[in-house]
């Protein structure tokens, strides 16, 4: 990791402060290209105007309206589920920062379309948690495989074993893993 840190330079991470928007973006970007996600994101913003991408505005839209922005039926239902939970207060995003990582993950995976990977990304990029190892992330796994000379992509257990010396800064080490794939 020392060489990766030297080449990548100082750690820098800009947090996504709008937690609702970060989760909506995570859902809509699942299993599509970055370019397609950006196009859908723009259409969704246009659809939500002038109020903007808020839980109340999105929960007021129909499945068909969301689909008109380019979302699949399934992703539309996921975003509506998230919006309704936040709008009704059953998922209090502003209170998640006070909870443990495990409690945040537990709360988020109750939402349709949000799994452990999305919860890990939320912990790192929205809450700024420093000790999250996104063991299911393909980029982190690929970087570990490359950096540690593994024959196969590491499984969850192998990732955690290798990352043990990174604690309590596994998020920062993961960021460096992602950066290592750029060179």
Residue 152 and residue 165: Cα distance in Å, rounded? Answer: 21
Tokens 């349709």, residue located = 112
Beta carbons within 8 Å of 169's beta carbon, 6+ residues apart? 130, 131
Hey, how many other C-beta atoms are within 10 angstroms of the C-beta on 83?
Answer: 25
CB crowding 125-162: b at 16 or more within 10 Å, else e: bbbebbbbbbbebeebbbbbbebeeeeeebeeebbeeb
Dist CA 106 CA 118 (whole Å)? 12
Active site residue 137: yes
The residue annotated as part of the active site, out of 18, 81, 102, 137, is 137
Interatomic CA distance for residues 170 and 143, integer angstroms: 14
Q: List the catalytic residues.
A: 137
């Amino acid at each position: 990791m020392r060489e990766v840190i030297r080449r990548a330079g100082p750690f820098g991470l800009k947090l996504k402060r709008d937690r609702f928007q970060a989760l909506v973006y995570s859902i809509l970007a699942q299993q599509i290209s970055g370019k397609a996600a950006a196009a859908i994101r723009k259409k969704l913003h246009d659809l939500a105007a002038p109020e903007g991408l808020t839980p109340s505005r999105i929960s007021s839209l129909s499945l068909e309206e969301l689909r008109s922005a380019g979302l699949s039926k399934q992703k539309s239902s996921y975003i509506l589920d998230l919006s309704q939970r936040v709008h009704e207060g059953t998922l209090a995003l502003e209170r998640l920062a006070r909870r443990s990582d495990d409690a945040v993950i537990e709360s988020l995976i109750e939402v349709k379309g949000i799994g452990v990977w999305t919860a890990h990304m939320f912990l790192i990029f929205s809450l700024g948690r420093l000790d999250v190892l996104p063991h299911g992330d393909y980029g982190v796994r690929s970087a570990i495989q490359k950096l540690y000379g593994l024959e196969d992509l590491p499984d969850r257990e192998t990732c955690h074993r290798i990352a043990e010396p990174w604690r309590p800064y596994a998020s920062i080490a993961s960021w460096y893993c992602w950066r290592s794939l750029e060179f």
